[in-house]
Amino acid sequence: MHRRRDRRPDRDLQRAGTPEDLEAVVEPPQPDQPARVAEITTEGDSGPDLVAGRFDAGIDLGEFVQRDMVAVRITGPQRAAIVGSPGYFDEHPRPKVPRDLMAHRCICHRLGASGPVYRWEFEKRGKAVTVSVSGPVIVTDPFFTLRAALDGLGLAYVFEDDAAEQIAKGDLVRVLADWCPPFDGYFLYYPSRRHQPPALQALVGVLRM
């Protein structure tokens, strides 16, 4: 999530970020929020350089925020969940370790419109494992990732919060939970400057935990 700096008024605060970054932290403006916050617009991008791109601020997971940026926590810790439909597991054994995913159909996620396909990341007792999965579908929107899993097309790698309701109802079955520890959540980050645009100050006030 980023705002491009130019000569237009500050009311044009513009944010860029991947759809999942923005969806995870940005909710529709509430009636009691300042009008200037509702005027902030978003622009999709994945990890751009704020200075080179002339952006004012960004949203990303804590592990990807550059150290020289001011970082403001805006969510709690996140956790991944590997899920599949009951019907899928009627026909396929449940994976017990990440490498078992190589024998499964998985819902692949592309990072951005033209970025690489995400490699699924796991960790257990300090051991990190990355798996390049494959399957019948590649999506860029997390909504369709979850929808494809519900439809039985394969296993999906999603945020735990996004699938919590479906898991509780039994519409999705979770596996490999012991390989998915919590990790840093989302931060709003921006360069350190003496004077911050009023719209950015308002955004920090609304999103800060």
pLDDT at 198: 81
Q: Do residues 198 and 84 make contact, with C-beta atoms less than 8 angstroms apart?
A: no
Assigned CATH topology for domain 10-76+184-207:
D-Maltodextrin-Binding Protein; domain 2 (3.40.190)
CATH code of the domain occupying 80-179: 3.40.190.10
CA dist 166 and 174 (Å) reads 10
Number of helices (H), then strands (E), in the chain: 6, 12
pLDDT at 24: 55
| Alpha-carbon distance values, 53 to 60, 86, 114, 144, 204 (Å) | 16, 45, 18, 29, 20
What pTM was computed for the model?
A: 0.68
How is 24-39 classified by DSSP, letter by letter? HH--PPPTTS-HHHHT
> Domain segments of the chain: what residues?
10-76+184-207, 80-179
pLDDT at 200: 80
